[in-house]
Structures are given as structure tokens and as C-alpha cells.
Amino acid sequence: MAPTHSLDIHNLDRHLDELSEQGYTIIPGYLDRQTTAAIRAHIDAVVISDLPDKDLTWADTDKARIYRNDERGVRQLRHPIIGNIMPEIANNPQTIELGRFLLGSDLANLRMREQVLSRTDPTPPPYGPSGWHIDAPFTKEEYESTPRRIYYQLLQYCSTVESGGAAFMLVPGSHKLAYAANAEPRSEEQRQRLQKNPIGVARIDPDEGIEVCANDGDLIIFNAMCLHSASKNASQQTRYVYFTSFYDASAEWLVDYVRKTKYRDGFPDSLYRRLPEELHHLLAH
């Protein structure tokens, strides 16, 4: 039988099984070192040029929107993000096809939910997880539909992350408990109850959380309904990450949510202009 995708990923079936059972998987060597070095350099340049000297929580400039959390050492850049590198990494055929394939979506119905760059600097103790959560309160029916009406996070490490080095943390298999707790029918109130208290509502034990360590260039795919957390950086090495996600245009709840919150409204015109015309649908509402 001919493949239904053009993905060049070794042991793809094993990764898909792991994603289904554990809620995450690691694909080694997904990005080349030249690309990760360029992403690191861009993060550093934007952070240094746009962060003012005074302490603040949000900095909105005409160039980029940067989240600063000094306690965790996090510098997080969300759209709009300046730089030609943003349309370049958005226009990665492998990533676009992976997003489409994971959802079972037609390419024309695929939407890019976000682009985020993140730098986590070394900080003093205490260390460990910095806030267990799920990303969105999807229902079991949305997860099991074709195409899936959820999103997967595509977390691309742009530096090697060892234990204690601000590794992404996750409770393996917790997505199953979260979906079971959010079986149909669900009201918006019930969804939000799970969103606000996934540990209590879905009875997930955060003590079962693990650090997901990986190398520069590795890709971590994880289900947005897994209980997960960032962690502080106890090492001497800065941690760099680029992540993105996709969803299908048929995902009614998610489409409504991003419209209400205007989460995708920050994509800059430059991103749209610099994407090939055949990919403009990625930014469509």
C-alpha cells in the first residue's frame, strides 16, 4: 500500500504508537544544526534589542511581544516576532506535512496556531516544575474524530537539554485520564473546570512527571491534553526552544476559542507576505 504522506521520519509507526500510549514522542535530529544555531542567534538578538532595562511583565513594542519572567529566567517571544527566519521556519515542508498527518487533515484546511521562541536562562533555586497544566480542555470526541479537532505541540529543541537544564516535563499517559474526564457531552463550564484543575478533575499524579531531555535539533511531539510543565534551569547552559502547532479548520471549539481570545491575530503581515501563496491558508481565520 502506498504511503498517505511524504514524511521522512525513521520508525514513524513506533513514534505514533508512543504518542498514542505515552502522550509524547521524541524524533531525533529533526532540525539541522545550522537551523538551530540561526534560531538561537535570532532569539538572543531580539531579546537583547527589545527588552528595556526596567523590570516588567509584558513588553509590547512595534517589533515583537516578549514575555519576561525573571523568577524562572524565561524569555518567551510570541507573534508578532520580527525577522526573516520566522517565515523560513514556518515554511518547513516536513513540519507542515507532519502537522497535517497527525490530525488527518486535508492540507487546505490546515491552520498554524502559533509560533513561539523561548529562552530559559540559568537561575538560582528552587528548581523543579513551574506550573502543571494542560493546554486546552479538548473532549474525547474531538480527539477521536477524523480529522482530529485538537492540536499537538511540536517542540523543537534548539540546544541540548539535560536533566536540570529547564527540560520540558510531562506525566506520561496523562492525556488518557484527561480525555476520560472530558468525555462527551461537555458544557463550557465543565471544560473550564478541567482546564483550571486538571490534577483534581482527571486525578493525575504530578509526582509521576518526568523530565523530557533531548539533544539540539530533536523534536518532541506531545498531546496538548497531557499534564505538563516547564522547569527552571539549574544548569550553566541556556535552553533554547522553538515550538509551533496546527489545527484543522473543522475544530469548531478551538476555532471559536482562538477568535474570542484573538490569539492568532498577532501574526505579522510580513509572515503572510513571505510565505508562498499556496501556504497562505495556514494563517486564514
Cell 531525533 locates to 28
Kindly report the number of other CB atoms within 10 A of residue 71's CB atom.
Answer: 9
Most confident region among 116-125, 217-226, 266-275 by mean pLDDT: 217-226
Within 8 A by CB and 6+ apart from 194, the residues are 134, 137, 178, 181, 182, 201, 202
Read off the pLDDT of residues 89-129 as tens digits, 9 standing for 90 and up: 999 999 999 999 999 999 999 999 999 999 999 988 888 89
- Sheet with 168-170: list strands edge to edge: 210-212, 168-170, 228-229
pLDDT recorded at residue 56: 33
Question: At residue 51, what is the residue type?
Answer: L
CA–CA distance, 245 with 33 (Å, rounded to integer) = 22
Vertex 211: Cα angle to 209 and 212 (nearest 5): 120
- Tens of pLDDT, residue by residue over 36-74, are 999 999 999 988 765 444 333 333 333 455 555 556 678
Q: Is 38 left (phi over 0), alpha (psi -120 to 50) or beta?
A: alpha
Q: What is the pTM of this model?
A: 0.91
pLDDT above 50: residue 196: yes
Residue bearing the bigger pLDDT, 61 or 8: 8
Average pLDDT of the segment spanning 178-203: 96
Cα separation, 232 vs 101, whole angstroms: 33
Q: Which CATH architecture has domain 23-283?
A: Sandwich (2.60)
Distance CA 282, CA 146 (A): 19
Domain spans in the chain, listed from the N-terminal domain onward: 23-283
Mean pLDDT of the chain: 91
DSSP code for 27 = E
